[in-house]
Amino acid sequence: MSPRRLRLAAGLLALAACACATAPQSSSRTPNIVLFLVDDLGWQDISLPLGPERTAQNARFRTPNVERLAREGLAFTQAYSAAPVCTPTRAAILSGQTPARSRITYWTLRKDSDTSAPFLGLLPPQWNMNGLQPEDTTLPELLAQGGYHTIHVGKAHFGAVGTAGSDPCALGFDVNVAGHGAGAPGSFLGTENFSGAARKGDPVWDVPGMERWHGKDIYLDEALAIEAVEHVGRALDAGERFFLNFAPYSVHTPIQANARYVEHYAGLDPREAAYATMVETMDAALGAVLDELERRGVADETLVIFTSDNGGLSAHARGGTPHTHNAPLRSGKGSAYEGGTRVPLVIRWPGVVRPGASDAQVISTDLFPTLLSAAGLAQPSDGVVRDGIDLTPLLRGEASASQRALVWHQPHYWGTPGPGIWPYSAVRLGDWKLIYRHADRGFELYDLAHDLGEEHDLAASDPERVRQLASVLGSELRRTRAQMSLGAASGLRVPWPDDVAWPR
């Protein structure tokens, strides 16, 4: 048995249940931690409004447990994923490094295999296509060393199939349920054994370790919720503190309806109705964990985080008009625009976090230092540079959000055409966002305070601001040793954004 699996842990897991108007009192007890990381859940894919007003999308979905969490915690209206696709964000949470620094800049699948789609005139760099590996220091590893029992349930997609990193237990988790190197299930249906075999699908997508549910009338995330509750119960019975990384496979493709909820969405486009049942299934899984912890009497002792790994799918596979499902945000998963990276984030920490809303600009890379700090553990002193900031002073009400540059870097083409779906780098600083298109070395500039939908490109009319933000972006890309796209003909890297003359 590996040393990681022999680490001792102590404590209790719970989720918060108090929404008092008075200022919370700091707790001296280090909390148990639940990170509920949904797959492809868009900013608008919940009934909790995070924008300036409640939208038609908010009204469509039924997520009472997300609302419950928000009533008792802090909802962030300007939270971002580290990338517009899944593996880079998941790796950023576990490693504390931006995708640019880790060079895990795209989604992984098989060992040494590039999943980038071809894009006219560009090639991707030699990125880290195997993802996280055992030699990388990870959040669950550090928590385990600090006495936490570490549990992974659901989608992993940290390291490629055929590498050690495909197994979450090689990355610091003591328990792994259903996590492997692929990022989607063959099927969400127990009657299909969570496999695409009936459709002659590639077995690489088949969900492992779920044989007890094969042949049963159960949806994948319902089964995962039962598994999560069981492992939480075992930790509680053993008197252990623990970190639960619950990562539903919903709402990733294949879009498959959960028959238990279909009647809630009569009148919707059939594909959108199926999608809505997946959202409701995800929410019910969250509720199952919250309910069990309250039943065990430990709900006031746990920090719980609810978020998504990237913006909502909108380019394909959905019903209705493509690229509109995240409105008022523009575009969706895979895109440089807000629909690709703005995500829900709710944090509940009883006795610490005051219920309400925050407009702080935060990013998923921040979870690494924040959770270590919440656990009472020092940040690692291993010489590895990490990029997130500790949000605990903000959560405790001891500090306000400070302005900083948030950077995204995806020198890859996602493969499905759409707005903002091309190789790019981008920076947000304050209310302003600059996008650098690698293919034509062009810029787009948006004032998000007045143009949330990124409809009015101001790059031509405000060249000085373009140059200022290009300098910030270029400095950040150099600081993280980012790999730029390569010219297909020359093999040379695309210029840094601050090396491009503007206006032309």
Secondary structure element (H or E) that encloses residue 341, with its range:
helix 338-341
Reading the block at residue 108, the tokens are 């992984």
The dihedral built from the CA positions of residue 266, 271, 274 and 276, taken in this order, carries a sign that is: negative
DSSP letter string, 182-212: -SS-S-SBGGGTT-SGGGT--GGGSPTT-GG
Q: Compute φ and ψ for 445, nearest 5 degrees.
A: -125, 130
Nearest to 285 by CA among 70, 31, 37: 37
Reading the block at residue 283, the tokens are 């929410």
Q: What is the model's pLDDT at position 295?
A: 93
Q: For residue 118, say if its preceding peptide bond is cis, omega within 30 degrees of 0.
A: no
pLDDT single digits (tens) 159-178: 999 999 999 999 999 999 99
Cα 8 to chain centroid, rounded: 28
Q: What is the model's pLDDT at position 15?
A: 26
Residue 224: CB atoms within 10 A of its CB come to 28
pLDDT single digits (tens) 371-420: 999 999 999 988 899 999 999 999 999 887 778 999 999 999 999 999 99
Q: Compute φ and ψ for 114, nearest 5 degrees.
A: -85, 120
DSSP letter string, 250-306: TTSSS----GGGGGGGTTS-HHHHHHHHHHHHHHHHHHHHHHHHHHTT-GGGEEEEE
Reading the block at residue 396, the tokens are 């405790």
CATH architecture of 423-499: 2-Layer Sandwich (3.30)
- Residue that is written with structure tokens 């280090």 in the block: 30
User: In this structure, are residues 166 and 156 in contact, taking their beta carbons and an 8 Å threshold?
Assistant: yes
Report the distance separating Cα 191 and Cα 311, nearest Å. Answer: 30
For the whole model, what pTM was predicted? Answer: 0.94
Q: What is the model's pLDDT at position 491?
A: 96
Q: For residue 254, say if its preceding peptide bond is cis, omega within 30 degrees of 0.
A: yes
Report the distance separating Cα 327 and Cα 442, nearest Å. Answer: 25
CATH H-level, domain 9-403: superfamily: Alkaline Phosphatase, subunit A (3.40.720.10)
Report the distance separating Cα 220 and Cα 186, nearest Å. Answer: 11
Report the distance separating Cα 64 and Cα 69, nearest Å. Answer: 9
Report the distance separating Cα 248 and Cα 111, nearest Å. Answer: 24
Q: What is the model's pLDDT at position 28?
A: 52
Q: What is the model's pLDDT at position 402?
A: 79
Angle (CA) 429-432-438 rounded to 5° is 90
Nearest to 91 by CA among 41, 22, 47, 37: 37
Residue 405: CB atoms within 10 A of its CB come to 14
All residue ranges of the chain with pLDDT < 50 are 1-27
Coil, strand or helix at 407: strand
Report the distance separating Cα 156 and Cα 224, nearest Å. Answer: 13
Report the distance separating Cα 350 and Cα 15, nearest Å. Answer: 8
Q: What is the model's pLDDT at position 190?
A: 98
For the chain, give every domain's residue range: 9-403, 423-499
- Residue that is written with structure tokens 């054994």 in the block: 193
9: left (phi over 0), alpha (psi -120 to 50) or beta: beta
Report the distance separating Cα 152 and Cα 154, nearest Å. Answer: 7
H/E/C letters for each residue in 72-130?
A: CCEEEEEEECCCCCHHHHHHHHHHCCCHHHHCCCCCCCECCCCCCECECCEECCCCCCC
